[in-house]
């Protein structure tokens, strides 16, 4: 196993967080507009070129963990069990974002206050949120049967992904306004339960598989069951279809 990659990743994240801490302190004391990249780099003890190896702009500097968190969220989606409802998978994926904020409550609260005061930082935060929404939308779209919903799959995937992200952000903002106090994990689970009740039973959100069986009169009967449905449910669906009057 190559140990240099984890070490390099750890060092990279350490420098990014140093720069983020320096940026937040300077923004809070000098103001966002008056703070320069050179000052941020100097306060973090690195060269200007080092700053630009990690961030493209000073507003990006106070969000050092989003790139890595996006990778972790995508890994959750990639490793999802075949039987898991895709909405549940997306809920697990975005929990990586909440864990990022909850790992450093004081820093997260300070950053939240700064983003409320500085429009450029608020725009950067919105751009970060949009990246998660696009990731989850693509994932959910990939779970639909291409022949379902009369071509509305992109709309349904985007709406469902947006609902999960909105629920997460609602709970996150409430927690940040409370200065990082409270059981944010429990509140998040409650919010996700509401989303599941609304979107968790979307038809064909795990491609349905047709099953053909012969009826007692030798006719062919086609019925549909979810690929993640238990065998007992599949058999019940077939049995019910067999007893329906044939046209």
The top-scoring range by mean pLDDT among 7-16, 42-51, 219-228 is: 42-51
Residue 233 pLDDT level (bands cut at 50, 70, 90): low
Question: How high is the pLDDT of residue 203?
Answer: 56
Domain containing residue 113: CATH number = 1.10.357.10
Residues 145 and 105 placed together within one structural domain of the fold: yes
Residues 54 and 117 placed together within one structural domain of the fold: no
Tokens of 195: 């989303």
More confident: 5 or 217? 5
The secondary structure of the chain, three-state, reads CCCHHHHHHHHHHHHHHHHHHHHHHHHHHHCCCCCCHHHHHHHHCCCHHHHHHHCCCCCHHHCCCHHHHHHHHHHHHHCCCCCCCHHHHHHHHHHHHHHHHHCCHHHHHHHHHHHHHCHHHHHHHHHHHHHHHHHHHHHHHCCCCCCCHHHCHHHHHHHHHHHHHHHHHHHHHHHHHCCCCCCHHHHHHHHHHHHHHHHCCCCCCCCEEEEEEECCCCCEEEEEEECCCCHHHHHHHHHHHHCCCCC
Flag whether 121 is in a domain. yes
Residues 13 and 103 placed together within one structural domain of the fold: no
pLDDT (tens digit, 9 = 90+) per residue, 55-81?
A: 999 988 888 888 889 999 999 999 999
Q: How far is CA 192 from CA 23, 169, 218, in A?
A: 34, 11, 47
Q: Which of 21, 37, 59 is the last residue of a domain?
A: 59
Flag whether 247 is in a domain. no
Residue 211 pLDDT level (bands cut at 50, 70, 90): very low
Q: Which of 1-15, 50-64, 144-158, 174-188 has the lowest mean pLDDT?
A: 1-15
- Residues of the chain with pLDDT > 90, as a percent, come to 51
Query: What average pLDDT score do residues 42-50 get?
Result: 95
Domain containing residue 27: CATH number = 1.10.10.60
Query: In total, how many domains does the chain have?
Result: 3
Residue 10 pLDDT level (bands cut at 50, 70, 90): confident
Flag whether 70 is in a domain. yes
Record the pTM: 0.74
Residue 236 pLDDT level (bands cut at 50, 70, 90): low
More confident: 177 or 219? 177
Quote the CA–CA distance of 238 and 214 in Å, as a whole number: 10
Quote the CA–CA distance of 106 and 226 in Å, as a whole number: 45
Residue 130 has pLDDT above 70, yes or no: yes
Question: How high is the pLDDT of residue 133?
Answer: 96
Q: Considering only the C-alpha atoms of the chain, give the largest distance between any 2 of them, rounded to a whole number of Å.
A: 84
Flag whether 52 is in a domain. yes
Quote the CA–CA distance of 129 and 2 in Å, as a whole number: 33
Residues 176 and 89 placed together within one structural domain of the fold: yes
More confident: 238 or 162? 162
Flag whether 103 is in a domain. yes
Structural domain boundaries enclosing 11: 1-59
Residues 193 and 229 placed together within one structural domain of the fold: no
Q: Which of 59, 92, 107 is the last residue of a domain?
A: 59
Query: What average pLDDT score do residues 190-215 get?
Result: 66
Residue 98 has pLDDT above 50, yes or no: yes
More confident: 5 or 137? 137
Residues 28 and 117 placed together within one structural domain of the fold: no
pLDDT (tens digit, 9 = 90+) per residue, 35-45?
A: 999 999 999 99
């Amino acid at each position: 196993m190559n140990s240099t990659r984890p070490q390099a990743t750890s060092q990279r994240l350490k420098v990014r967080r140093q720069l983020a801490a320096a940026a937040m302190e300077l923004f809070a004391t000098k103001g966002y507009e008056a703070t320069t990249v050179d000052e941020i780099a100097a306060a973090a003890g690195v060269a200007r070129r080092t700053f630009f190896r990690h961030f493209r702009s000073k507003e990006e500097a106070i969000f050092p963990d989003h790139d890595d968190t996006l990778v972790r969220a995508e890994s959750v989606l990639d490793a999802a069990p075949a039987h898991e409802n895709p909405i549940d998978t997306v809920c697990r994926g975005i929990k990586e974002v909440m864990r990022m904020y909850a790992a450093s409550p004081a820093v997260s609260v300070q950053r939240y206050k700064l983003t409320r005061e500085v429009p450029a930082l608020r725009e950067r935060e919105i751009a970060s949120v949009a990246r998660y929404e696009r990731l989850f939308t693509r994932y959910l779209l990939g779970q639909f049967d291409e022949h379902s919903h009369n071509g509305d799959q992109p709309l349904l995937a985007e709406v469902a992904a947006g609902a999960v992200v909105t629920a997460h952000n609602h709970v996150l903002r409430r927690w940040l306004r409370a200065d990082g106090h409270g059981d944010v994990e429990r509140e998040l689970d409650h919010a996700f339960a509401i989303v599941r009740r609304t979107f968790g039973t979307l038809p064909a959100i795990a491609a349905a598989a047709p099953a053909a069986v012969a009826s007692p009169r030798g006719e062919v009967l086609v019925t549909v069951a979810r690929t993640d449905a238990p065998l007992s449910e599949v058999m019940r669906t077939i049995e019910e279809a067999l007893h329906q009057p044939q046209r």
